[in-house]
Every structure is written in C-alpha cells, then in structure tokens.
Amino acid sequence: MMRAGILLGLLLGLQELPAKSPLAYFYVDSNVGDSSGGHSAVRAGDFVYHYQYFPDRIFRIVRDDTDTFIRTYNQSENRSIRVTELDVTSRDEETVEDHLTRLLLIQEKHALIQAEFASDIELASAIEGSGSLEVEGLGFFGPCNGSEPTGEKIQPRGAPPLNLSGIEGEQIESVHTIPLPPVKIDDFPIIAPSYASRYKARLRLTRARQLLSGKVCLDQNAFYETDLPITADEVRVLKRYSAFLNNRIPRLLAGESNSQALMLAIAREAAIAKSLEGKKWVLLDVFQENDPGIPRDPSDPLLAILEREAHHVTIKARELFVAESGDPETAYNLVENAIGRWREIKGQGRNPATIRFATTRLIPRGMGRTRVRAVKLPAEFREITERNRLEHLHGMHKTFGYNLINRNCTTEILRELQKAFPAEAESRRALGGTVNPDGLLTFIPFISSHLVESNLRIAKVETILSRRRMALEAAYAKELDPVVYARESNVLTSRLYKHRPIDTYFLMFTDDVIFPRPLYGLVNLGYAIGQTVLGIGYLPWGTERINSSTRGILFSMPELVFFNIRKGSFDDLSGPEPPE
C-alpha cells in the first residue's frame, strides 16, 4: 500500500460515514501496480465492495467506505473512475447490499476458521515446546506497584463466587480437533470453537476472577496518559459509561464465549478510573507493539497536515462521545482511536520514529503471554488439525480462487451483483437487464463497464478524473494551453508530478493524448532501455534502477499500439479533494 493510502488510514477510519449513495458500478482505470489492467467494484449503501487477492492465495470480496476507496484509487493511485449509477428501487438496492454483505461474512468466517486451526496448532506447539502462549486480553493487566497509578477496585453487582484456583491439570470437556467444514460460496459455515479458543477463554475467566477479587492494575505498556483535560460533560458521560461497564461485567463473567469482551470491559473500567482520578484522559492503546508502521520524518510537510486533521478528528470524537446516548461502547472507541492515532502522528507512540497505522477502526486487544497449563491433548491432535487446515485451505482455493479469465475482480463483482436476486428474470426486472460474467471479453474491466452501460438500466454516468488529469484541467484554465502542454507532457519539467520509482522509468505522459501515443511510447521505451543499461553499469548498486526500468520497458510496449496503462502516482495528500 502506498504511503498516502497508509496515512489516510490513520484518519479515515474515524470520519462519519458518507450519506447513503445510489447503487453504482465502478470502473477504475488502469495503472502500474495492483489491478494494472483496471479494476471493478460496486457501490451499495455506504460502502464499495470489490475483490482483492490475498497472500494466502484467496481471492475474496472486501468492503471499503466510499471516501477511502476514491481517495486510494483516484487520488493516490492517480486513476480515473467511471461511476455508472443504476436505476433501481431502494428495496432492490438493499437486496444487493444484503447479498454482498452476506458473501463478505461467509468468506471472512472461513478466514476465521483458518485462524482457529492455526490457534490449535499454536497451542499444541506450546505444550510440546516453549510452554508459553499468547492470549488476547491478558496483556492489559500487570503487577501493582508504587510507581504506577492504579484503577479503583471493581465490585460488580451480582458477581458469582470467585474461584481463584487455576486450571492446572484441567481438561475442557469434548476435546477434539475442529471438524472439516465444507467450503461453499453461498453457505455460512457454523462450527464449534476450537480447543485453543476455549482454553484461552478459561484462562481469561480465571484471570478475570482474580482481578475482580482485588485491585485492578493496568500494565504500563497497555495504556497511556495524556495531557488532555476532561471536561465537565465528559466527566458526566465517563461516570455513566463506568456504571454501564459495572453492570455488564457480571453478565460477561457468566458466559465463556464473551471472555475477550470481559477483559476489555475490566481494562476500560480501570482506564476510566485513572481518567477521573487525574482529571485527564487515560486510554488503552489501540495499537499492538508489532503493528505495521512507517518512518516518521519530522521534515515532511505532510505531517503538519495530518496532525491538524487528526486534532480535528479528536475534537469531533470527543463531541460525539458526549452527545451519544444509545451506544457508549462505539462512542468511547471513537475516542480511543482518535487520540491513539493523533499520538502516533505526533511521535508520542511506543516508538517516536515510527507511525503505526491501520486502515480500519481498532479495538484494544491486550495481547499477553502466559505459561501453558498441564493439559493433555488427544493423540495425533496436531497432525489431524494440520491435515484439516490444509484440506480446508484447499477448499478455499478451489471455491475462492483467482483466474485471470473467468474469475477476476470484474467477472465476480458482476456475477454477485446479479446473484443478489434469486432468478435471472428477477435480476432482469431489478437491474433492467443482465451481463454475462462468463462472456468472451467480460473479464476486461473497461469492456465490462461498456456492457453494464449498454445492458442495464442506467440513471446517470459520470467520470471522476484522475488526480493529474484534474490538476491539468485546472492548469489549462489558468494558463496558455501550449505552455501547459509543453511543461506537463513530460516527467522532467512537470510541476504536477514528481517521479517515483514505483511508477517505473518513463519520460512522456501518454494518458491524456491519443495520436502521439505510439511516438511517446517509443520515447519511453528508449528511456527505459537507457536506464537499464545505466543500472547494469552500477551493479550491484543499480539493482533497484534495473527493476524499475525493466518494468518501464514492459509498460511502454502497450503505448506503441495506442494503449495506455501507466499514469504515475502520488505520495502525498496535497492534491484536490475527491468530488462529493
């Protein structure tokens, strides 16, 4: 992911969702990088649904809010987006949204099943080897000492009698490996929790009972203190949320399946107690120590923009926390995310030289290691689990695999758009027609876009110009056309674009010209070949130059026959705002 997209993720997960938009088919223009031949997506409700290829070779649907999708593809990756709004009823639009959401949940559930298999294997390895296991929730809490401020003692009403004995030597009933679930694109898999999940739940419940018997102390790496004073309104809402948690904790304590939420509730209650005691915000860290990060360069002017925006988001999150009356959990989590991301941008995180990031809203996890108790696993537990994991993964590859011609981002989003309706006749009624996802050339994104506009019932078509094309139009409106063209037609003199190695070596822009394209492509081809020769002369230090120039040769070839792929990309947020 590009740096700009990463930095956007620090902020966009906290913004309010955009107003609900009409059902639309998106065609994203080609460019160097992922989806170099173009990309297809469907906007339904508040989100854009599209397919991505994952490192485990699974090709599955993902969901982004519309603003993030447009900023990533249109602004950072410099691609034009053709938005074809479909003329459908609100009920039919909801049918499409429900279908895509269900498909998303089915595929995510299978990914979670893979994680359950891995968790059982991890437990077996820990028993056989190191004897320690990482468990979510245990890392929130640490020893109490004089140098560390502590939370108040939590005494939830109705708590069951405490059992402080560990689970030494215990075995959970019905110990077994996870059964192998069938992988079907339309069926939601339901299986019992893995042995490791239930084992970790018992560890959390035992630790929770220990905590609730005395004073709760947070681990120093699990929380942070800020210099942000708590307002009188925030004090009132924090006390109300604290009472909510105290009422919820006994109910969570009674259910093994909610043990993660239980640990988080206890930790948040302790953080709130510290906040009220010190009259300043004290929060759990939403980031983990090993979360990805990017170098923090204090000289980068983008940091000032990001910090200003993050400060604004923090103010907004605190206002929403005070105003929210129906869902205190979500409102409080907004504050956790806003302040946590702001601290990262300001260099106040775990490592001041790195900005940890995330593209979605985070919930504190409190990962911590603990000694594995003396449990006895069934014979061949690890071997059977690994065999089932691989067979399940094979089923996922077969059902959710990628194929350039008949299962790519275009064919599958078209297929699922029409499968939202139970029969072809119903799809024709709702969408005004059909597009065969298995047609001869449907797999090509720009052709499928044409087929959608030709065969379905269309309300409106518009194009969101790429960032460079939009800036070019603005420049043409202010300056003489020949001057702008001469300056912006090439990388060397352009004021709108700065060359990035990720874009490959090229000299002339060809996305905004037609007839000169083969000539410009020939210039780009010669320039890339020259850079390759120069890189060979500097080996082994010229490896990066050779890689970029070799790809430059590859992406110059289509230009010789009037086809453009490469358009350049951007690594900052200083461009124009995407249109509403």
**What does each of the 580 residues of the chain score in pLDDT, given as a tens digit?**
344 444 445 454 444 444 467 999 999 999 998 888 999 999 999 899 999 998 889 999 999 989 889 988 998 899 999 999 999 999 999 999 999 999 999 999 999 999 999 999 999 888 887 678 899 999 999 988 743 444 444 443 333 333 334 444 444 444 567 778 899 999 999 888 888 998 899 899 999 999 998 889 999 999 999 999 999 999 999 999 999 999 999 999 987 668 999 999 999 999 999 999 999 999 999 998 888 888 888 888 778 888 998 999 999 999 999 997 678 889 999 999 999 999 999 999 988 999 988 877 899 999 999 888 667 788 788 899 999 999 999 999 999 999 999 999 999 999 999 999 999 999 999 999 999 999 999 999 999 999 999 999 999 999 999 999 999 999 999 999 999 999 999 999 999 999 887 899 999 999 999 999 999 999 999 999 999 988 888 777 778 888 888 999 999 999 999 999 999 998 755 444 444 4
Q: Residue 24 phi/psi, 5° resolution?
A: -150, 150
Mark which of 442, 464, 486 sits at the end of a domain.
Answer: 464
Which residue type occupies 539?
L
In a domain, 39, yes or no: yes
Do 24 and 96 fall within a single domain? Answer: yes
Retrieve residue 297's tokens. 């360069």
Contact between 167 and 208 (Cβ < 8 Å): no
CA 2 to chain centre: 13
Dist. CA 38–CA 521, nearest whole Å = 20
Total of domains in the chain:
3
Asked if residue 285 and residue 168 are part of one domain, the reply reads: yes
Do 458 and 473 belong together in one domain?
no
Nearest to 123 by CA among 175, 75, 74, 73: 175
Per the domain annotation, does 138 fall within a domain?
yes
Nearest to residue 23, comparing CAs of 59, 50, 54, 48? 48
Which of 361, 384, 407 marks a domain boundary? 384
Domain match, 339 and 239 both: yes
Residues 210 and 247 in one domain: yes
Is residue 203, in this structure, part of any structural domain at all?
Answer: yes
Would residue 389 count as lying in a domain? no
Domain check: are 497 and 449 in the same one?
A: no
Nearest alpha-carbon partner for 219 in 275, 153, 145:
145
CATH number of the domain residue 26 falls in: 3.90.1720
**Closest listed residue to residue 317, CA positions, set 271, 361, 273, 366:** 361
Tell the residue number behind the tokens 């399940």, with chain if given.
392
Residues 343 and 301 both lie in one domain: yes
Question: How many Cβ atoms are within 10 Å of 24's Cβ, its own excluded?
Answer: 23
The secondary element (H helix, E strand) that includes residue 447 is helix 445-455
Cβ atoms of 278 and 149 within 8 Å: the answer is yes
Phi and psi torsions of 214, nearest 5°: -155, -140
407 and 354 co-located in one domain: no
- Is residue 460 in a domain? yes
- Residue 575 within any structural domain of the chain: no
Asked if residue 304 and residue 156 are part of one domain, the reply reads: yes
Same domain, 176 and 197: yes
Q: Please check whether residue 216 lies inside any domain of the structure.
A: yes
Give the end of a domain, one of 405, 433, 464.
Answer: 464
Closest Cα to residue 51, out of 411, 451, 507, 579?
411
Please indicate, yes or no, whether residues 422 and 510 belong to a single structural domain of this protein. no
Main-chain dihedrals φ then ψ at residue 538, nearest 5 degrees: -105, 10
- Judge if 169 and 299 occupy the same domain: yes
Domain containing 545 equals 467-561
- Residue 573 within a domain: no
* Residue 32 near residue 359 (C-beta atoms within 8 A): no
Convert 164-181 to b/e letters by CB count within 10 Å (16 or more is b): eeebeeeeeeeeebbebb
